[in-house]
Amino acid sequence: MKVKIFFCECGGNISENLDLKALKKELTSSGTEIFQHPFLCSPEGQAFFEARILPGEGVLVGACSPHLHGPIFKELSEKRRAQAFHLVALREEAAWLGKKGAYRRAMGLLKGALRALSYYRAPVLKKFPVTEGLLVIGGGIAGLSAALKAAEKGLPVYLVEREPFFGGKAVFLDRLYPRLECASCLVSPRLSALIQQENLHLFPLTHVFEVKGRPGAYEVTLEERPRYVDSERCHGCGECLRVCPVNPPAITMDPPHPVPRAPVIHAARCLHFRGESCSRCKEVCTRKAIRFEQTPRLHRLKVGGIIVATGFRPYPAEKIPYYGYKRLPGVITLWDLERMFTRQENIYGFNGESPRRVAVIHCVGSRDRRHLPYCSEICCSLALKAGILLRERLSAEVYHFYLDLRLKTPEGEGLLRRAKEEGIQFIRGQVAEISEVPLTPEDEGRLTLLAEDTLGSEQRVWAVDLVVLVPGFVPETGSEEMASLLRLCPDRFGFFSPREEKTAPVETLRKGIWIAGAASGPKDLSESVLSGEAAALEALLFLETPSFWAETDWIEWEDRRCGRCWLCVEVCPFKALHIDLERLKVEETLCCGCGLCASACPSGALRMKPFPREAHLQSLEVLFGET
């Protein structure tokens, strides 16, 4: 195979740091044709590039990082039916790493790549049909936004929610930052829309049991737990809620705007399920909607794609013992507070009375190596909002303890000003301890809060009635199982990694699976909606085409070399390999070409494309042989 080399000068970035002339001279002597262009990525440069490639040739580009223009050059060389393509980052890996070593490094890269090219075997482009259904996992605001948009466009959508009601965390927010609008007024129309969409199928109390198949044709099994209430018959009058003798009630309909509008019976608490003869809810129901006899149901679906919107949860504050959460009365979390607000419950302090002085503690667990070594970004605004509500509704003195205030949106600053004008105090520093030992005898019945005031450079002590902890966020429980079910890649904190954080934020490394909302990192309501709808758009683009093309055939299996230990089947992180009558079969659309199987294969029966191990070994050989 004849190989042509293309050098990009990158407007001097490469040519001024690297003696291209000398490189050319040395490489041409081995019979290779070399072309050079000041800006290979420019339209003119691309035309220059394209015009010089003949079918069947190999192409080696020496330019900038493959992440930048690599795909363009690859596409052009495929268009010209080049037989092999390789790109080396002459700019980042040679020209810019120091003039002294530039030539040597460049030579190493180029000679290595030239040698590797002789082992190049192109993956195969194949066409796969697509089923049009969409599964959305998670009925929070992100998931339902995605589901609504996709359904609106006419796709059959299956929305799965683990909890009895849709809406996720948003339905338990009282007011929204930064304009303090009523949250349920904004969220409930979207929830109502769920029921109106005909091609949107709702699965509350349901979890994903199994996912099989491939992008464009997944076979999903859902398991729906019994509600013990027929939500078709029930019209949500709530009579049953009032007659339940158990405390807390065994039949509930918690959210202010429940969807579906039918209560749920918690079998663990319900007297009927504990062997007693109670059936008061059933007796009082005029619609005959109570169904004690319900059992779990399996649903089998065929969908073309999956949106994962499993969300986040606040970090469990009880894991930080010195805050006293779940130990001291009067220490609550922001989410407890929001729930009390939405249910219009009375709020009590440490001594059981309406609190006069409240501490709002930011960054609970956040930016702390022992807990969450990151900032969750949205909690400051939640905390600020809660402080203002406490001030305005309870006329309490409010103290914020913060590390850094990060207020998003232009209105955020205005809200901070409003808080300060209302007399809310902001203390920059970490709270060290909260204790029930009163500060002075007069403070009997109050909590003592010890904190550092880093602006005043001192330790200070406060007596307070109520402490509101504002924890950072972690992935929702079950995310790990979801990751292994769908073979997604979590980041080191357990959030799902997108394909490209900046430029492909809702795509995953797996075709046909997208992420929405806080499953990929803490997000506020608007960002969740945004990413939900973005995911819906990606899903629509994929599902509305009857088929897709994908590079496949990353693995070459040599029957006669194989010892049938089948370790490859086990190690594949994407479950792309299986055994079929003593032969290895690769599920083409699941294989990502990561190469873990080939590097685990003892007998060398597996080799990767485009560059098998020989290419690497030989590159190393020339690297050391020549320079």
Under the rule (CB under 8 A), what is the footprint of another protein?
65-67, 89, 91-93, 96-101, 104-105, 108-109, 112, 487-494, 497, 509, 558, 560-567, 569-571, 573-574, 579, 592-596, 598-604, 608, 613, 616-617, 619-621, 623-624, 627
Half-sphere exposure of 94 (CA within 13 A, CB side): 27
With H, G, I as helix, E, B as strand and everything else as coil, classify residue 561. Answer: helix
Give least dist CB 216 to another protein, A: 21
- Burial of 143 from C-beta contacts in 10 A (0-12 / 13-18 / 19+): buried
Rounded to whole angstroms, the Cα distance separating 609 from 211 reads 28
Give least dist CB 372 to another protein, A: 14
Give least dist CB 331 to another protein, A: 32
Nearer to another protein, 392 or 480 (CB): 480
Strands 297-303 and 217-224, sheet pairing: antiparallel
What's the gap between Cα 442 and its chain centre? 50
Nearer to another protein, 105 or 227 (CB): 105
Give least dist CB 368 to another protein, A: 18
Residues forming beta bridges with residue 59, ordered by sequence position: 4, 85
Q: How many residues appear in the chain?
A: 627
Nearer to another protein, 238 or 625 (CB): 625
Give least dist CB 583 to another protein, A: 13
Give least dist CB 219 to another protein, A: 21
- Considering only CA atoms, which of 524, 521, 531, 315 is closest in space to residue 408? 524
Nearer to another protein, 464 or 615 (CB): 615
Give least dist CB 141 to another protein, A: 27
Give least dist CB 311 to another protein, A: 19
Rounded to whole angstroms, the Cα distance separating 425 from 401 reads 9
Nearer to another protein, 27 or 176 (CB): 27
Rounded to whole angstroms, the Cα distance separating 595 from 577 reads 12
Specify whether the CB–CB gap between 206 and 231 falls below 8 A.
Answer: no
Specify whether the CB–CB gap between 199 and 155 falls below 8 A.
Answer: yes
Nearer to another protein, 97 or 389 (CB): 97
Residue in this structure with the two tokens 């749920």, named with its chain if needed: 264
Nearer to another protein, 462 or 574 (CB): 574
DSSP string, 30-98: TT-EEEEETTTTSHHHHHHHHHT--TT-EEEEESS-TTTTHHHHHHHHHHTT-SEEEEE-HIIIIITS-
Give least dist CB 605 to another protein, A: 8
Nearer to another protein, 112 or 305 (CB): 112
Give least dist CB 74 to another protein, A: 15
Specify whether the CB–CB gap between 338 and 172 falls below 8 A.
Answer: yes
Rounded to whole angstroms, the Cα distance separating 49 from 63 reads 12
Tokens of 534: 């973005």
Nearer to another protein, 477 or 599 (CB): 599
Rounded to whole angstroms, the Cα distance separating 480 from 276 reads 38
Nearer to another protein, 395 or 484 (CB): 484
Strands 217-224 and 206-214, sheet pairing: antiparallel
Nearer to another protein, 203 or 611 (CB): 611
Half-sphere exposure of 404 (CA within 13 A, CB side): 8
Give least dist CB 109 to another protein, A: 8
Rounded to whole angstroms, the Cα distance separating 171 from 139 reads 11
Tokens of 180: 């303090």
Rounded to whole angstroms, the Cα distance separating 325 from 502 reads 37
